[in-house]
Amino acid sequence: MLTYTIRRLILAIPTLLFISFIIFLIVKLSPSDPTAGLPLTIPPEVREQIRESLGVNDPVLIQYFKWLKLMVWDEPLHLIEGWTGLNVAPDDGARIISYQTRSPVMDLIVQRMPQTLWVVGTSYIVGILIALPLGIISAYKQYSVFDQVGTFVSMVGFSVPTFFTGVLFIVIFAVHLGWFPSVYDTTHEVTDWDSFVVQVKQIIMPVMVLGLYNASQISRYMRASMLDNLNQDYVRTARAKGLGEQVVVLVHVLRNSMIPVITVIALNIPAVFGGAIITEQVFKVNGIGQLLIIAIQGGDVPVVQTVSVIFAVLIVLFNLLADVLYGVLDPRIRYD
Amino acid sequence: MKRTTLLLGATALAMAPAAVWADAHSERGSSGHLNIIYWQAPSTLNPYLSGGTKEVESASLILESLARFDDTGTMVPWLAADIPTVENGGVSEDLTSITWTIAEGVTWSDGSALTAADFIFTWEYCTHPEGGCAQASSYDGVTAVEAVGDNQVRVVFGSPTPFPYTAFVGSESPVLQAAQFADCLGARAPECTDANFGPIGTGPFVVDDFRPNDVIELSANPNFRFPDRPYFATVTFKGGGDATAAARSVCETGEFDYAWNLQIDPTILADMEAQGNCTVVTAFGTSVERLHLNQTNPDPALGDIRSTAEAGPHPFLTNPIIGQAMSMAIDRALLVEIGYGAGGQPTCNVLPAPELYASTANDACLTQDIAGANALLDEAGIVDTDGDGIREYEGTPISVLYQTSTNAVRQDTQALVKEWWSQIGIDTELRNIDASVFFGGDPASPDTFQKFYADIEMYTNNFAGVDPQAYMANWACDEWPGPDSQWQGSNIQRFCSEEYDALIVEMAGTADLARRGEIARMQNDMLVQSYSIIPLIHRGGVSAHASSIEGIRMSDWDSELWNIMDWRRAE
């Protein structure tokens, strides 16, 4: 298993380099201009100077290699310095700099991470907590009223876009009922019980919007996987041995059914770090998703590039993790 | 009437703060906390590194300039003791320098004194060749900034400058603290993240926490020169979301006190205002939504030379009769009603304000006259000869490609205009282009507004400040965009008139304000009556504030938060 993991990790390097180069080309060759969003009162000569100072006019390959060097060498060293306090980072101060804020991209990402993890991470957990029982009961009582309702709810949750449910939630719970705030306060810190209640109030709407969406996806996998197993011979054997239904379903069937579901859950974790572009925008959460969309709109190549490549890294890593987990959970699967 | 009273009150407030509000609610910080939402979040607090409105306006809470423009476009001394003029000797007789006196007792928020050195530094900072300063045009023509005595700054121009109130005036060129930015010149500007995100200023507020593209926390400046102001102790300046959500957070949920730039469906905004929690405020500057009629031939068959001088004149849009008929067929009031609401007024001028410069010669266009337009074309012999419903001009069917940026209001306008033009026998093909491409200025893209590979295009333009000299010079003959200038140039419709160029020259040498007004009006009339440009809507800024906030005097000539030190919460 270890050699397999190492082999996969080594293979990931060329893949990631290729991905990063393709992303760079796509972003770079698309018609975007960091000065496009500026008021028309700013004359073209000044715009040209701004572009020059940002380095937009350098040849594409040079820009790519400059970025790559910073990404794989300078930025990790800065990260280590930030964590450990060791003075290892190069002193020339070279960082990946955002066109819009003129500040290091990594600082932006670090700043946005907490609210993204809070909101999107919680919604993922909530989604799983809803999905598992829903999927199990739906499968065990196939075609019952519960199953029909569950199927209907997950179909609705899956097909209605979050920009609709989000605004609907705001109109109902923030405007009419006045229970929750419609604007997320990123500066809020949880220090005691009262501030925790405030945090729960401001987080509940985005979490539920995303949670319902996640739950509808995962519950379908859970249900299908349970159904596959419920009709297996070993289930009949277990019942024939005289085991109680609870043990049969929750121990024998569930454990076997969880294998593909866990893989699906692991594969979707990178999306948690990626934030939720639309939901973050609707609730003004201003996490990674909002960072990415603003950067795309503003032609901010370094931010788009860096964030996308971090996603790519996470996706590659979690794919590997899912494969490894598969082997751990299912003894029949061996990679060596 | 109510507005006038409010204005008088606010003016009095500015003049004699202590006398008017002598009660307990006139102390610094007495109004508590203010929540502002800008649905586009500021990326930095250094307006020299980003020319965006959101950055300029958020920075205006902290950084200030020598003079500002109030809601009427009148200049008011801010960090300066008074406005220098030729009469009071502040502007030299030959119009090549202006000497500002720094008001007494102005200090930076860290307690140190504001000196001429700070202004000299700011000028060096923005004009550094490697800096990419977004506000460089504020310092156009400035050859030196020097200290005169302890408390005076002289700005020297290379040539006579009749309107010298450009550098250090308005929210776009505030003064930076030399001590803080000393190591941030030129290419090193982006390295100074701490300074760019937390500039030390002279303004009413100081930055406590800045999160780029997200939120700013501010608190009252303890060293502010007016001991009783600002009335708000702390400010949260939140960014993100969209305009409708921002309006909702002020008018419906009441979470915020002030929302900026609410260009949303006018009926939605009116419904929200009707609930009584908020007041919609507007301010009109110089923004005009207009149609440019290409005076050169954009025929795709011409390949790379289309829409340039080489392509020759446009087959029919160079005839002002056709442009006039197109203008007459448009119902500007309806366009305002559908798309702009409080944020628009019909206009027939490309230069609609300040009042001194606004012409009244073209106001006939305010009423739609389709019958008149048809008659005009018929009389000129521009008729439909082949019976297909489309008029021909010298054998060419009058069929136009009408482009603009992608935006719901603009597409509505396009559809209406197309319908009206069809009623006068003009065939219209519509096209919309993503704003970042249309305004992106990429010389390799065929879809930029400068390339103008279409017959007609629509967008809004304006100028910063109150002086139209540079703006009106946009339509000089040598300002045509073209391949030799990388398609940079401001004369988008490719208008050219010797008479007009002569007026530009005259304007540059005239200091007398009345005469400048006259010249500007003549320029406006020449442009509009050439029908190479059809002004549609005079656009204003639309914001909303909680009904409990007093003292807001929204200005489109400066940051709309320019007088935030006078804002207070009513009882």
Q: What is the 3-state secondary structure (H, E, C) of chain A?
A: CHHHHHHHHHHHHHHHHHHHHHHHHHHHHCCCCCCCCCCCCCCHHHHHHHHHHHCCCCCHHHHHHHHHHHHHHHHHHHHHHHHHCCCCCCCCCCCCECCCCCCEHHHHHHHHHHHHHHHHHHHHHHHHHHHHHHHHHHHHCCCCHHHHHHHHHHHHHHHCCHHHHHHHHHHHHHHHCCCCCCCCCCCCCCCCHHHHHHHHHHHHHHHHHHHHHHHHHHHHHHHHHHHHHHCCHHHHHHHHCCCCHHHHHHHHHHHHHHHHHHHHHHHHHHHHHCCCHHHHHHCCCCCHHHHHHHHHHCCCHHHHHHHHHHHHHHHHHHHHHHHHHHHHHCCCCCCC
**Per-residue pLDDT averaged across B232-255, rounded?**
91
pLDDT digits (tens, 9 = 90+) for A265-289: 988 888 877 778 888 888 888 889 8
The answer to whether A42 contacts chain B (CB < 8 Å) is: yes
**Per-residue pLDDT averaged across B530-540, rounded?**
94
Residue B1 has pLDDT above 50, yes or no: no
Contact between A100 and B43 using a beta-carbon 8 Å cutoff: yes
Residue B279 has pLDDT above 60, yes or no: yes
Distance from CA of A166 to the nearest CA of B (A): 11
Q: Beta B399-405 vs B427-433: how paired, if at all?
A: parallel
Q: Which residues of A touch B209 (CB under 8 A)?
A: 187
Given A175, A181, A299, which is nearest B436 (Cβ)?
A299
Distance from CA of B84 to the nearest CA of A (A): 25
Distance from CA of A176 to the nearest CA of B (A): 8
Residue pair B111/B221 in contact by the 8 Å Cβ criterion? no
pLDDT digits (tens, 9 = 90+) for B76-123: 999 999 999 988 989 999 989 999 999 998 999 999 999 999 999 999
Interface test with A, best of B36, B40, B43, B268 (most A CBs within 10 A): B43
Chain A CA closest to residue B194: A103
Distance from CA of B395 to the nearest CA of A (A): 38
Residue pair A147/A141 in contact by the 8 Å Cβ criterion? yes
Tokens (6 digits) for A91: 């002193």
pLDDT digits (tens, 9 = 90+) for B295-319: 999 999 988 889 998 999 999 999 9
Chain A CA closest to residue B210: A187
The answer to whether A202 contacts chain B (CB < 8 Å) is: no
Is pTM beyond 0.90 here?
A: no
Lowest mean pLDDT of B211-225, B413-427, B440-454, B495-509, name the range.
B440-454
Residue pair B394/B315 in contact by the 8 Å Cβ criterion? yes
Residue A54's pLDDT is 82
Q: What is the pLDDT along chain A (336 residues), one digit of tens a residue?
A: 788 888 888 998 999 999 999 988 888 887 677 887 777 778 878 888 888 888 888 888 888 888 888 888 888 888 888 777 777 777 666 788 888 888 889 889 988 888 888 888 899 999 999 999 999 999 988 899 999 999 998 898 888 888 898 999 999 999 899 899 988 888 888 889 999 999 999 999 999 998 988 899 899 999 999 999 988 899 889 889 988 888 888 888 988 898 889 888 988 888 877 778 888 888 888 889 889 988 888 888 889 989 998 888 888 888 888 888 888 888 887 776
Chain A CA closest to residue B43: A101
Residue B209's pLDDT is 93
Cα angle A283-A284-A286, degrees, rounded to a multiple of 5? 130
By the 10 Å C-beta count (0-12 exposed, 13-18 middle, 19+ buried), B54 is classed as buried
Distance from CA of B196 to the nearest CA of A (A): 8
Contact between B436 and A104 using a beta-carbon 8 Å cutoff: no
Q: Which residues of A touch B130 (CB under 8 A)?
A: 53
Tokens (6 digits) for B337: 């009603």
The answer to whether B133 contacts chain A (CB < 8 Å) is: yes
Interface test with A, best of B48, B126, B194, B213 (most A CBs within 10 A): B213
Residue B548's pLDDT is 93
